[in-house]
Structures are given as structure tokens and as C-alpha cells.
Structure 1
Amino acid sequence: MAARRPSKTPVVTPTSFADLGVPGRLVTALEQAGITTPFPIQAATLPDSLAGRDVLGRGRTGSGKTYAFALPVLARLAAATSPRLPGRPRSLILAPTRELATQIEATIAPLATALSLRTLTIFGGVSPRPQVAALRAGVDILIACPGRLADHVSTGHAILDAVEITVLDEADHMADLGFLPVVRRLLDKTPPRSQRLLFSATLDGGVDVLVRRYLSNPVTHSVDSAMSPVAAMTHHVLRVRHDDRLPVLVDLTAAPGRTVVFTRTKRGAKKLTSQLVASGVPAVELHGNLAQNARARNLAAFSAGDARTLVATDIAARGIHVDDVALVIHADPPAEHKAYLHRSGRTARAGASGTVVTLMTDDQVTDVRDLTRQAGINPTVTRLGPGDALLAELAPGERRFVTPRTTTTEPRGGRGAATTEPRGGRGATTTEPRGGRADSAARRPDRRTATGGSTAAAARGRAPEGRRAGAAEVPSAPRGAAAFSSGTRVGSRRRGQR
């Protein structure tokens, strides 16, 4: 049945989750997690989704969409009497990338445990055997990436005829990655009259086809313009000489707080991470050439504050949520405005404020001007060099540097992360996310280059002028995907909505 014409939903004044119809046990579990007030996208969609209607939700990145679909899934399964059957999940949440699937599961798992519901995450890049065993044991909520789930369906290990409610998260991103044919085949195997929820930032052609084919008379809620910039986000373009890019990046990333730096290529992310670490900035990388365990380990180190800078390709532009990211830097301006907005959305999430900086060389002026115009922003443009006072305003606080020690790069086929270990230390010992197995055909790691972390040079490299000296260092080395001889734990582990 055709979808209703999308319309902008008036901003709903946040009320309580109980007033929206969320069951008491879920409200209590949310309160125990420190979540008491719904975000607008949740307040708008929950009455309809909890009532069993198909819902099309549109909201900008960081608007709280995960709880908007997680709560109806949990409420429906908790109220139903259908048994948990081997190989037949009771609900299905499809996500485009491994990292997003893992974060969705991390959000849902505590609430599911409170309701005695079982969750499982499935994606590629890891052995399928533990996933097969978990499916055989029975699962209530299956969070999956399309490619690996399709493999399990084709072998008969997963059967989707018992799915009561299906969620498509970041549907437009799945379209961008070429997953829609696989998504359609999976949806065709779910009961046609089961409830379906679709969340997407845009309603481009491929997504609209899904809406018209699989959602029955959906209610459409669009709390924010599909690609609108966040009001609490400030945008700056720094026009720099090419040779000054690294010193400026070192100055910005050496400030307190978490920073995400984006590059266009995997090679660029790896090289920049090495340069930052050699300059004394604890940094880890995230890109498609890393093995899955290295990706999980590096992201965990960044989330924990063991490395305060994450250098990433556009693999981190969608679905990655880490609390208290104060600064996003486009070391390489993206090719198009949607990528700019999604990258920038790693900061100023869940009502917080944030700063976005784009580095622009003289030969990029026209491209960056067109990019920002298409993104609907009017950034402050400043020509500067290392040591400029504006850098301290954009990333305030005392600059702190650490001295990297011996770098150990594991052999091909090893754990996939190069770690800088303290004397006598074990390096990275983080564990995999629970149930964490993910898939993305477009993100499949190249095991020949599956290395993470960074290679540290003996010298710090060229440092920006105006560094404040005498920064206090924490004597013990941090643990994570990269470990250093001394460092500063940054950011708070504030609970936030995904």
C-alpha cells in the first residue's frame, strides 16, 4: 500500500515515557539508565508505533532514533505470548554497518535483560559458527546486517516467518551501500502483515520503494528537516597552507576532549593516525582495511577515553555514537554535502553542542564553498597557521602530549592492530561487544592490510607554536587499542540516547 505523503510533524513537547504509553517495566529500566525525558522524535513516533502501526520516521543524526524504535520492539515482545523458537527470531532490526548494529545492541540489551528477552547481533567479518549456535538456542531480538543474515537464511539457520516486528534503521545508508536488493529479499521472508518501522534521514528513490512496498498505510513523522544542520553546532573553515595541515591538526587534537578526524581514504586515515601518535597525540584509526576485532578494539579505546582522537573514513560518518565528542575535523573535505552533514553529526548529539572544523587548502576553496552552500551552512572562514589564537578557542584547554614507546605490528593474519605498548605491558586487551558480529559487503576488511593502531616515530614531528608547557601527565599507561607511556583520560562516560 502506498505511503502517505511525508509531512513535517510539529515539534512535540517532550513528556514522560509513561504518558506516551511505554509499559511500566520499561519506564523503570529507562530510569535506571538515567533516561527520563523523551526526545522529540520519540515523543512523535511512540504513540503510533506502540499502538502497532507501521511508522516512517525521519530525523537528523543524533536525534534519538534508536530508542524510538527499540521501545516498541521491546514492548511488543514483552506483551506477546509467542514462544522463543530455535532459528526463528521474533523481531528483526536491520542496520547497514557492523558498528551501528553493535551500538543498537548495546542500547537495547540492558532493557531486554530487564524483560527477560534475548538479543543477538549478526554481521560478517567473523566466524559464523557462534552466530549459528546462538540462533539455534533461540532469540527474541535479532540485530543484523543484511549480507551475513542473508547467508544464514540461505543455509536455513535463520528463518524469518516468526518475525512480529521489523525495523529498518538508516535505510538511506543501506541504499547508498547497495544493500536494497538483499533487504527486499529478507523482507519478503517476513510475515506480510507484521509491523514494520523504517527510519531514514532521506526518502530518496530506493528508500521510497521500500516504504511503498513493505509499509502498510504508514504514519510519517519528520521532526527535523531530513538533512538540516544542527543549531547547536558551530562551523569553521580554516584556510591553511598544505605544509601547515599537520601542525594545525596536532594542536587541535592535543586539546582535552574527544575529537573525530575524517579523511577521504583508508590510507590517509592510517597515515594521519601514525603522524598524530608520533607527535604525542593518543589516536586510533577506523576504516575498512581493519579486521573486525581491530575495529571493535579501536572504537572501544576511543569510547573509554584511552585514545582521545579517532581518525576515520566515512565508515564512521553514520551510526557511530560516542558521548561527548566535542570536535569534528574534516581533515579532507568530503566529496558531497550529505557526507559533510553526517560526519559533522558525530558531535552536537542528543541536545549537546559541538564544533566542526574543515581544513581547506588554496586549491580546495571552490569545492568547499560549494559544499557548505549545498549543506545549508554559513561557516566562519579564517586563514591561519600553526600557533594562531583561534585554535585555542576552537579546542579550548591545556594541550597535553604523551611519548609513544615501542610499536609492535602483529604479523599478517594476527589480531590486526598495531599497538604501542608500555614497558612490560600487554597492550590492548579489550573484549568484543556482546553478540558482536557484523556485516557490510562494502566494508569487508582486506586481511592483507588488516592493521590498526599506529606506527610511532622517534621524533614528535613538527609541533605548532604556542603550546603550553608543563602539562601534568597521568603516570600509568592507558589500556586500549593503542597504549602509551603516559596519558590523560578524557571525556565523561555520560549516558546519552543513541
Structure 2
Amino acid sequence: MSEKTFSTLGVPAPLVAALTAAGIDSPFPIQVDTLPDTLSGRDVLGRGKTGSGKTLAFSIPMVARLGGALAGGRRRPGRPLGLVLAPTRELATQITNTMVPLADAYDLRVTTIFGGISQARQVAALKAGVDIVVATPGRLEDLMKQGFLHLDAIEITVLDEADHMADLGFLPIVTKILKATPTGGQRLLFSATLDNGVDKLVNQFLHNEVLHSVDEANSPVAAMTHHVFETSGNDAKKDLVYKLASGTGRRILFMRTKHHAKKLAKALTDAGIPAVDLHGNLSQPQRDRNLAAFGEGNVKVLVATDVAARGVHVDNVELVIHVDPPMEHKAYLHRSGRTARAGAEGDVVTICLPTQQKDLASLLKKADIQVQPQKVNANSPEVLELVGEIAPYVKPAPREVKPQGGGGNSTGKNAQRKRALREAGAANGRPQRVTREGQPARDRSGRPPANENGTRRTGANKPSTNGGARSYGSAAGGGQRATASASSRPTGAGQRQRSARPQGR
């Protein structure tokens, strides 16, 4: 049988041209299996491992359908025709990046909607009119509640990584969103598993669906090689991690916690191995900046939590390292799927301490991964073979030092003036505090500062004020204070009245 092409699968010529321009000439198995059904308008349930080409499998039929539908200019503000739901911001962004070149062939507008950033631009895009929305469920629901987005015109809906949406607790929101779309619309659902309620979504919202599975041996993920490296303890593990991170190719190191991901990225950078981190504590601009540095090759090491296990697609990631083994097998598969994508080859290393051997064996069994553990150190031949050429040492950039003192706001001449005043006070045997303007400050009691001889200014040099304020006696009077009587001092709400005190006691 002749090899299938996008044209023979029924993909319209404008999209074939767009794919060719992007260097995509041959369809992957999931695309060969699903495109005849999706292009004909049928509901499809796709099951398969990550990295098998699912994004194009649903992007092509969505753009093909809506490109023809918009020939008559049906675009309306706040009422898109296509919807893609994804569990994470990173995956939503990746889907959009894949879809836009195809959408451009038909002059379709695509926008991405997710939380963690201001909604102003997203609202502006919806008001201007968009054709396809790629969104995370939470922010999409918010905009629907605010009346900026309506789903009554949706013709085709895609749920990507439905099992991960279930893991994150999104299914109740997803159910509400799907109920807001027309019942006659086309629906495509992609998921590695059908547990945790995903099967209920299939039963409720897909009609006469066709099932396609891409778990067969010819899946591109079969080009992935797995390794388990056992180490004797934490010190040996640290040396092994640094060695694995030191190669010239791109590699992703997975950690369980945000704190440890940030800490390891900094430690590697300080050791001359530039690294960036990716985790939930970063703002969206920080995430974008770090991913751009990794994707463009300025930094070859990405240290991440499971937030990067889905949706981060960077070409030529040669090595995935589970520095901390994940908690469950699905996370292992999705983490590992950052390498060996789109038919490329890649390696996956899991570092295992003695106390983790039993749990890791169980996890790999559930993931259907068969691998023989190896006891290694940082200089073992098996390790050096994976590392390959060592990248040159990169001197860490100096870290910015915040100015000290004055609340961090004093710089230049102002800071110098304050420092000189402090030193002058210290020379008189008493450190002196100053105000922002460089003037002597009052002490905690509110009194003026002491003079050079240690005494305070008195009534002889500071006249009293009206209204019952304290007055200071003359120097001859020994600095005795006279306090206004209660009758001459107004009392506020809740202020305790004090009786007049005899002077000179």
C-alpha cells in the first residue's frame, strides 16, 4: 500500500501548503488514523501517549472546517466558532503556536485565554472578534460569567489531555462549558486514559464517536530509551545530577517541589551550568522568559516541576532526568514525553536512592516500562555515554545587590549624606539617626535628640505651645517638666483622664 500523505487523507490544499512550509511533509500514525473521520465531521475519541502528534490531528480538521464556514464572513464579537480546552497555560500556548500557521491560511483569528495574567487583552481580543479560542477551563468560565464570551456559536470543540484535567479537578467546570456549546457540534476528545471521570465526559458529550488508539509499537514514543540509575546516597546523587546536566544538548530535570526546582536551577548556574526553572511560583512573564531562553538555546537546562510535564514542546530535547521520581505512573509518562517527540529519539533517566527502589519498581510496572536498574556513579561509562560532550563552563553573572539601609530607597548623594551624619554622631560618642532629608531625627519618645553633652533641649531653647502641650523647664530648674492639668487638656474617645499632678515632685 502506498504511503499516506496529507493530500490523500483529505486535507485541503491551503493547509497542505502551510504544513509543507513548516517542514511537515508526512503524517504521523495518529493523524493517519483520525483525519478521515475528523475531516468528515465525526466525533472522535483519541487515546495515546504524549508526543504522538495529537495537536496537529485536531488542529487540521478545526481550521479546515472553520475556514470554509467563514467564507461568508460570520465572525462576531465574543462568539467564537472553535474551542480547544487544555489543562495548563503552557499546553494552551503550545496548541496556539501550532494552530496559528494553519489558521493564517484562511485568515482565521486565534486567541489564547488562561489565568495568571490580566484579562484585559483577552477581553479586547474577544470584543474585536475571534474565530478560535484556546483556553484553560478556569479563566474561560470567568469570562463567560462576566458576559465577555458566549459559546452558543461553537461548531467544533476539542478537549486535549482530558485525563490531566480530571487530575486537576477541572471536570465539573469542563462539564459546564460543554453544556454551553450546541449539542449538534463536532467534539474531539484526546486522553491517555479514561479514568477519573473522563469516561463520563465521553458518554455524555460524544455521539457515535470513533475510537482511535496510538499506543501501538509504531508510535513515535517507541524511540524513547529508559534508564534507572541507582546511587548510594544524596552526595552521590548530587554529583550524578550535575554530570548529567553538563552536556551540550537540551535536557529537562524534573523535581517534585517548586522550592527544590528553583534551588537546583540556581545551584547549577552557580556551578557554571546555565539553567532556568519552571514551576507554579513563577509569574506568566517569568515562565515565558525562561521557556524562551530554553527553547531558543540560550540555556540548555530546564529544571521543572510537573507543570512542565504537559504542553512544553521544545525540539531536540535529548534527555529527560527524573531527579525526583514522580508520585504516579501517568506523571512519569508525561514527563518522559518531553523527549522523543515527533519521531525523534531521546533518553529518559530516573535517579533512584536505596529507599526509593520498591516504589519506583511499582511505578514503572504500572507505566508498562521494562528497564533493568544500574548502580552507577557520576563517572560510570553508562553515564558518560549519555552526557556526551561536556559543555564549556559559563561564569555566572554577578547578582544585583540591593542598597543597604534607609529602607532600600537611599542611593547616591542622599545615602552619602546620611552616612556622614551617622559617623559624625558616632564621633561624639552617640550614634545619631537622621531623617530622609538628612536632619537629626527624634527618638522613640518623640523628644528631640540629645545635644553634644548628652542633655536635651529644654524650655530655655524651645518654647511651649498652647493647647496643653508639655513645656520644658529652664536649665536652672533641673529640666523638671510641668504637665497641663486634665481640665485644660481635651480628652478624645476612650482617652483616660488623668488628674492634675503637683509640679516639682
Partner of residue 385, structure 2:
393
Partner of residue 56, structure 2:
67
Residues 1:410 and 1:175: Cα distance change in structure 2 (over 3 Å): farther
Partner of residue 308, structure 2:
316
Q: Hey, what's the Cα distance between the residues in 2 that align with 1:181 and 1:386?
A: 47
Counterpart secondary structure, 1:127: coil
Residues 1:44 and 2:36 are matched in the alignment: no
> Alignment partner for residue 118 of structure 1, among 109, 112, 121?
109
Partner of residue 214, structure 1:
205
Counterpart secondary structure, 2:373: strand
Q: Hey, what's the Cα distance between the residues in 2 that align with 1:43 and 1:375?
A: 26
Q: Hey, what's the Cα distance between the residues in 2 that align with 1:408 and 1:103?
A: 33
* 1:2-401 map, 5 Å: 15-80=4-69, 81=72, 83-224=74-215, 230-240=221-231, 241-401=233-393
Residues 1:130 and 1:43: Cα distance change in structure 2 (over 3 Å): same
Residues 1:14 and 1:119: Cα distance change in structure 2 (over 3 Å): farther
Query: Does the 8 Å CA contact 2:220/2:343 hold for their aligned counterparts?
Result: no
Partner of residue 463, structure 1:
none
Cα distance, 1:387 vs. partner? 2.2
Return the letter of the residue paired with 1:203.
L
Residues 1:37 and 1:123: Cα distance change in structure 2 (over 3 Å): same
Structure of greater relative contact order (alpha carbons < 8 Å, 6+ residues apart): 1
Query: Does the 8 Å CA contact 2:5/2:25 hold for their aligned counterparts?
Result: yes
Cα distance, 1:367 vs. partner? 1.4
Q: Hey, what's the Cα distance between the residues in 2 that align with 1:286 and 1:225?
A: 32
Query: Does the 8 Å CA contact 2:220/2:342 hold for their aligned counterparts?
Result: no
Cα distance, 1:373 vs. partner? 2.0
Q: Percent identity?
A: 58
Runs of 4 or more off by more than 6 Å in structure 1?
A: none
> Which of the two has higher C-alpha Rg?
2
Q: Hey, what's the Cα distance between the residues in 1 that align with 2:2 and 2:96?
A: 28
Cα distance, 1:400 vs. partner? 2.3
Cα distance, 1:325 vs. partner? 0.5
Query: Does the 8 Å CA contact 1:301/1:307 hold for their aligned counterparts?
Result: yes
Cα distance per residue 1:261-296 (max 9 Å; x no partner): 000111110111111111111100000011111011
Counterpart secondary structure, 2:351: strand
Q: Hey, what's the Cα distance between the residues in 1 that align with 2:123 and 2:391?
A: 48
Cα distance, 1:205 vs. partner? 4.1
Counterpart secondary structure, 2:370: coil
Q: Hey, what's the Cα distance between the residues in 2 that align with 1:409 and 1:207?
A: 51
Counterpart secondary structure, 1:234: strand
Residues 1:329 and 1:186: Cα distance change in structure 2 (over 3 Å): same
Counterpart secondary structure, 1:159: coil
Query: Does the 8 Å CA contact 1:317/1:343 hold for their aligned counterparts?
Result: yes
Query: Does the 8 Å CA contact 1:122/1:143 hold for their aligned counterparts?
Result: yes
Return the letter of the residue paired with 2:34.
T
Query: Does the 8 Å CA contact 2:18/2:102 hold for their aligned counterparts?
Result: yes
Paired residues in the alignment total: 399
Counterpart secondary structure, 1:221: strand
Cα distance, 1:384 vs. partner? 2.0
Q: Hey, what's the Cα distance between the residues in 2 that align with 1:304 and 1:128?
A: 28
Q: Hey, what's the Cα distance between the residues in 1 that align with 2:391 and 2:18?
A: 40
Q: Hey, what's the Cα distance between the residues in 2 that align with 1:350 and 1:229?
A: 6
Partner of residue 413, structure 2:
none
Return the letter of the residue paired with 1:335.
M
Q: Hey, what's the Cα distance between the residues in 2 that align with 1:393 and 1:273?
A: 23
Q: Hey, what's the Cα distance between the residues in 2 that align with 1:345 and 1:171?
A: 16
Alignment gaps of 5+ in structure 2 = 404-505
Counterpart secondary structure, 2:221: coil
Alignment gaps of 5+ in structure 1 = 1-11, 412-498
Q: Hey, what's the Cα distance between the residues in 1 that align with 2:282 and 2:4?
A: 43
Cα distance, 1:13 vs. partner? 7.9
Counterpart secondary structure, 1:319: coil
Q: Hey, what's the Cα distance between the residues in 2 that align with 1:409 and 1:40?
A: 54
Counterpart secondary structure, 1:359: strand
Cα distance, 1:178 vs. partner? 0.4
Cα distance, 1:410 vs. partner? 9.5
Return the letter of the residue paired with 2:12.
P
RMSD after superposition: 1.8
Q: Hey, what's the Cα distance between the residues in 2 that align with 1:138 and 1:410?
A: 46
TM-score of the two chains, using structure 1 as the length reference:
0.78
Q: Hey, what's the Cα distance between the residues in 1 that align with 2:402 and 2:56?
A: 39
Query: Does the 8 Å CA contact 1:14/1:43 hold for their aligned counterparts?
Result: no
Residues 1:14 and 1:138: Cα distance change in structure 2 (over 3 Å): farther
